[in-house]
Structure formats: structure tokens, C-alpha cells
Amino acid sequence: MRDPLSKTIKGIKPSGIRKFFDIASEMKDVISLGVGEPDFDTPWHIRDEGIYSLERGRTFYTSNTGLKELRTEINNYLTRRIGVSYDPDKEIMVTVGGSEGIDIAMRAMLDPGDEVLIPQPSYVSYEPCCVLAGGKPVIINLKEENEFRLTAAELEEAITDKTKLLVLPFPNNPTGAIMERSDLEAIAAVIEKHDLYVISDEIYSELSYKGDHVSITQLPGMRERTVLINGFSKAYAMTGWRLGYACASEIILKQMLKIHQFAIMCAPTTSQYAAVEALKNGDEDVAQMRDAYNQRRRFLMERFKEMGLQCFEPYGAFYVFPCIKEFGLSSDDFAMRFVKEEHVAVVPGTAFGDCGEGYLRISYAYSIEALKAALERMEKFLKKLRG
């Protein structure tokens, strides 16, 4: 028989976290710090709107771009939070999670051989999505000494005459790094100079602990060059609802919408009704969850300090990214021994790019009690390793 598979898909590596998942899900008393989603339930009033929409029989497709009411609320929200507005009719589309937005933005913008700059460590989907869209991923290795922020020099160095797109993943999963206004201003100049476009994945924008999140779209000239990706998963604890959105100039969005139209039709209707409620009346919930995450973040940093574990202070998302180079183990070996010997599951930094070697991603989307218990095991494990 002929090989049923495409060379492209065979060339894509499966996600590196699978083997930890298999081990951890077998164990009974495992404490996982490996989850990339909120521990909170979706606030009840939001769930209630979803239920109500089902009761009312709103079980049909919406328009391809999503409910008009939701797009209007997205625009209100963005205007309120970052002071940037988008035309709900032409510049906003509702997607199946932020991940769909990333995928279709790349497919709409890339020709074969176009280079896409992907700063790493970062979320696992950018590189494969780029490859599937026919682009060529060019990795920028971010450094701890810069708090894993992208610098203008790093960006400049990676640009060739084939470079078309930059993925900007901040606040960042897995490092928790953020980009402040001055950081963004520095790279905006380079973006402008080389006439690049940007996919700004701001899914963690509400989880920023050092002043309000700054979006690159707020800087002069950047809105037109940027596809802004955001969604409901992290801010409103709505991961399972699979709902996000993309905002861009009409020229780009129109083409993204074609792919969405043929591949997806529309995002889940129930989720869209719930999301309207989230945007209308959810600001207080977001603030409460942000406060809770921030308390855990400070608690973790203090405990790492007590253990003598090196970790730069991250100001975003719900991850910390401690350095484990002192133990002379690879991230993979460290994480494997940690789960086998102490039954604590963490994700090796290398799952998010080769430059994550020597680091671990630890999620604090857990109750303080769970974090305490896990950190006690960690303290014991570090003592053992240090002999």
C-alpha cells in the first residue's frame, strides 16, 4: 500500500509532554503542577447564560464571524481595557479558542518559504501551525538574563529578507514573562523598519501582575500590522468552552474568515452566549481570580527563595519557570525523577523549545494547599539531589 501520510505531518514531532502524562495519570497520589488551565470553575452567572441559551433552544449555527452581540462586546471590552477599537462587522471574528486564530492567521498570511519568527520558550502550537501553513519557523531563543523578554537586538538578528511574520506570545506560557511598554516600543521600531506583520497571542492578557497588560496594538502604526489573538479560556476560566477571537484589519480578517468558514463554520453557539455575559458582567470575576493567582505567585517565589532555587520573577500568566541547571540533570531527567520519586508532575522546559533546557514549567493554577503540599515534596527532592 502507498504511504497514506503527508511528508509535512510526518515531519512534525508529537508534543513532548505525553510521556509525563502517561506516568502521572497512572499514579494515585500524584500532585500535578503541570496543568495549563485555570483551577477555577467558570463563574456561575456565565455558565447560567450558557444553560439559558440551551433552554431557549439557541442551538443553531451563528454567522461565520460569530454573534453580532458578542463581537460588539469584544470591541467594547478591548476599548475599555487597552483603548484600541475594532469594527465588529469587519475586524473581529469569533474562533474556536485562541488556537484556531493562530492557525488561520498563519494560513491566511504565509506563502511557501516565508519565514516566521517564533520566540521560545513558548506555547507548543506556533511552530507546527507555521509548518502546516507552508512557512518556515525561525526560532529566537529568549534568555533568562532578559527575563525571557524579546529584545530589539534579538529580533533584528533573526530577520532575513524572507521574514514576514513575528509571533509575539506575551504574557508567556511557559515562562510567565511579560513585555512592558518600553520593551514593546523597542521591538515596534524593528518591526516597522523591516515591514513585518505580527501575530500577538494575548490569551493571558488579564493575568498580568505588574500594572495593566500592554498590547502591541496600542503603539502607533502597530494595529494595522497585527493580528490580535485573545479568548475566554484563561481570563474567565472557560477552557472547555473553546472560545476565542481574532482582531485584525479587514484585509487580513476577510481571508482568515474564508478558512474558518470552510473548516469550522462557526464557534460553538452556547459558548458564544455565555461569552457575551462574561464580557458584560465578568470584570469583577477576572479581578478576583487575578488576585488569587498573584497571591500564589508570590507564595511560590518566596518558597523557591527559601529552598535556594533560582527563578526570575515572572509577572504574567500562571507559570513560574525555575532554573535547575545547578543539579546537572536535563529538564527531562529532572522531571522524570521528580514524578517517579516524589510523585509531583511538572513539565520540562524543553517541551516549549530547546532553549527551555535547564528549566521547569510549574503552574500555579492550583489551590494554595495543593501548592504547599507539592513544594514540601520539592524541598525534599532538592535536598536529596544536593546530597
Q: Which residues are at the interface with other proteins (CB under 8 A)?
A: 15, 17, 20-21, 24-25, 30, 32, 34-37, 39, 123-125, 173, 291, 295-296, 298-299, 302, 345, 347, 351-352, 368
**Cβ–Cβ < 8 Å for 313, 301:** yes
Smallest distance, Å, CB 82 to other proteins? 24
Q: Which helix (H) or strand (E) holds 209?
A: none
Distance CA 270, CA 274 (A): 6
Residues 6+ apart with CB under 8 A from 60: 269
3-state DSSP call for residue 191?
helix
Smallest distance, Å, CB 124 to other proteins? 5
41 or 111: whose CB is closer to other proteins? Answer: 41
25 or 160: whose CB is closer to other proteins? Answer: 25
66 or 176: whose CB is closer to other proteins? Answer: 176
26 or 157: whose CB is closer to other proteins? Answer: 26
Distance CA 100, CA 320 (A): 26
**Cβ–Cβ < 8 Å for 366, 39:** yes
Distance CA 171, CA 194 (A): 24
82 or 345: whose CB is closer to other proteins? Answer: 345
Smallest distance, Å, CB 152 to other proteins? 29
Cell readout for 173 is 506560557
The residue assigned the cell 476565542 is 244
Smallest distance, Å, CB 368 to other proteins? 8
Smallest distance, Å, CB 8 to other proteins? 21
Q: What residue type is 83 in one-letter code?
A: G
